[in-house]
Amino acid sequence: MSEQSQPRLSVVGTGYLGAVHAACMANFGFEVIGVDVDELKVKQLGSGQPPFYEPGLPEVLDQALESGRLHFTTDMAEAAAFGDVHFICVGTPQSANSNAADISYVNAAVEGLVPHLTGDALLVGKSTVPVGTAARLRDVSQKLAPEGVKVELAWNPEFLREGFAVADTQRPDRIVIGTDSDSADELLRQVYSNQISAGVPYLRTDLATSELVKVAANSFLATKISFINAMAEVCDRAGADVTALAHAIGYDDRIGSKFLRAGLGFGGGCLPKDIRAFMARAGELGVDDALSFLKEIDDINLRQRSRTANAAATMLGGTVNEKVIAALGAAFKPDSDDVRDSPALDVAANLHLQGANVRVYDPKAMVNAAAQFPTLDFVDSAVEACAGADIVLLLTEWNEFVTLDPHELASRTAGRRILDARNVLDPAQWREAGWQYQGIGRP
Ligand code: UGA
């Protein structure tokens, strides 16, 4: 602990999670240092320019930098010497050749930080990791600690959503702390005192439970989405409407209406890789059967992408070859520039491979999308994408697409066909304007 009464914080890894956490904690009055191996990112953050799009982040970052309490560095030794509490916020992507999580960045963060510690410290993992990782890292860090330095470890899973990262960090719906140390618990209650006094529930668990809370939550969310998408498949065949069905079952508060939007399914850097990593870990633990249903959840989800591409072909008379297709959206969800495992881009790339001329437009994700699929045709606006198009695909429900005027757009396209893969448009309004409207799981 430093001399001051407030612990000083370091945040290792400055992606969506770390950058937002660092800025928000500085605004709550803590001295914070953010550390990352990426020099450009550190430079951008240090000058108030987030390297990714996240609503509200530029404002909280500016405020934190102006306060003088937030700094960024690439120097791990500087961060180690600075902080009393070190948050590990690095990514745990899917491994290149298996379903398991790649935790090499988490290992590298701990191994890079701990030998440089100059005083007693608490490591707090926020990254999503396979159960058992935290206990192993606790032992590793105690071995790596310099002579005379006491290191403790806690796990504090993060539940923020991209697009709402700032609000979710300032006022999460719960704080979960896994630790076997009372002093770690006490210190973290101090670190989160602002949130706790605002009424945010603070739950202490053991290490393994805290790791599992995170993957269980994401698995449940993924299951809800795939459940309603399975219903959409049945609705399609039965001539029923999945949006009305979701609305009706949602009134039962045991079910709830959230995360029951049928459509193109889930993507992003979390849900898909987390359910796969969870299955892989269950296999290692010898309980594969307990999570085999998640394979079905993954399959239902991926099927929505091919179903959407097939629906486009059907609307075009059986083939997309040489057809002009407007693809509205590339990000995995609106209010984000993230294209990791994006269903929208997947559909666009699939149709391109089938010989279509696909014109993609996204309000924020163009640069990331072009880096991933450089052969797609990227244009500067929704109207430009739709000009002369045989069909319009709404793939990510950005507000600027939801509010498109069907009358105005009608004269610009070659064929008035719209496939609303997120079920966000009013079918009656589009049909009345002369469009052939098709949703997912809607008659
Ligand atoms: C998700 C979780 O919601 C967060 O709680 C968690 O902290 C985060 O993963 C993480 O592990 O870091 P996020 O990936 O930002 O957050 O996105 P979500 O809002 O969960 O959406 C995921 C995907 O599901 C998107 O592609 C979205 O379009 C899709 N979705 C969501 C649906 O298809 N239908 C729905 O009803 C809801």
The ranges of the chain annotated as CATH 3.40.50.720 are 9-205, 304-438
For ligand 1, atom 13, name the residue with the nearest CA. 161
Ligand 1 midpoint to CA 271 (Å): 7
For ligand 1, atom 28, name the residue with the nearest CA. 333
Say what the pLDDT of residue 274 is: 98
Residues 6+ away with beta carbon under 8 Å from 200: 171, 172, 173, 174, 175, 192
pLDDT over 90 (residue 182): yes
Buried/exposed code over 410-424 (b: 16+ C-beta within 10 A; e: otherwise):
eebbebbbbbbbbbb
Closest atom, ligand 1, to C-alpha of 17: 12
- Residue type, position 294, single letter: L
**Active-site residue (options: 24, 89, 235, 270):** 270
Is 270 an annotated catalytic residue?
Answer: yes
Closest atom, ligand 1, to C-alpha of 268: 14
Is 259's C-beta closer than 6 angstroms to any atom of ligand 1? yes
Is 440's C-beta closer than 6 angstroms to any atom of ligand 1? no
Give residue for tokens 């990514």: 91
Six-digit token string for 326: 């407007």
pLDDT over 90 (residue 152): yes
pLDDT over 80 (residue 401): yes
For ligand 1, atom 26, name the residue with the nearest CA. 266
Say what the pLDDT of residue 3 is: 43
- Cα separation, 150 vs 134, whole angstroms: 17
Range with lowest mean pLDDT among 240-244, 378-382, 410-414 = 410-414
Q: How much of the chain is in helix, strand and coil states, percent to nearest 5?
A: 45, 15, 40
Is 260's C-beta closer than 6 angstroms to any atom of ligand 1? yes
Mean pLDDT calculated for residue range 391-418: 96
The ranges of the chain annotated as CATH 1.10.1040.10 are 214-297
Mean pLDDT calculated for residue range 106-134: 98
Ligand 1 midpoint to CA 268 (Å): 7
Q: What is the pLDDT of residues 349-374, one digit of tens each?
A: 999 999 999 999 999 999 999 999 99
What percent of the chain has a predicted confidence (pLDDT) above 70?
99
Q: What is the pLDDT of residues 6-31, one digit of tens each?
A: 999 999 999 999 999 999 999 999 99
Q: In terms of CATH, what superfamily is 214-297?
A: N-(1-d-carboxylethyl)-l-norvaline Dehydrogenase; domain 2 (1.10.1040.10)
The region that residue 169 occupies, defined by phi over 0 for left and psi between -120 and 50 for alpha, beta otherwise, is alpha
Say what the pLDDT of residue 4 is: 52
- Cα separation, 185 vs 177, whole angstroms: 7
Is 335's C-beta closer than 6 angstroms to any atom of ligand 1? no
For ligand 1, atom 6, name the residue with the nearest CA. 159
Is 305's C-beta closer than 6 angstroms to any atom of ligand 1? no
Q: What CATH class is the domain 304-438?
A: alpha beta
Q: What is the pLDDT of residues 282-312, one digit of tens each?
A: 999 999 999 999 999 999 999 999 999 999 9
Q: What CATH class is the domain 9-205?
A: alpha beta
Say what the pLDDT of residue 2 is: 46
Is 164's C-beta closer than 6 angstroms to any atom of ligand 1? no
Q: What is the pLDDT of residues 54-111, one digit of tens each?
A: 999 999 999 999 999 999 999 999 999 999 999 999 999 999 999 999 999 999 999 9
Six-digit token string for 127: 């990254």
Say what the pLDDT of residue 5 is: 81
DSSP string, 329-396: --SSSTT----TT-HHHHHHHHHHHTT-EEEEE-SS-HHHHHHH-TTSEE-SSHHHHHTT-SEEEE-S
Is 225's C-beta closer than 6 angstroms to any atom of ligand 1? yes
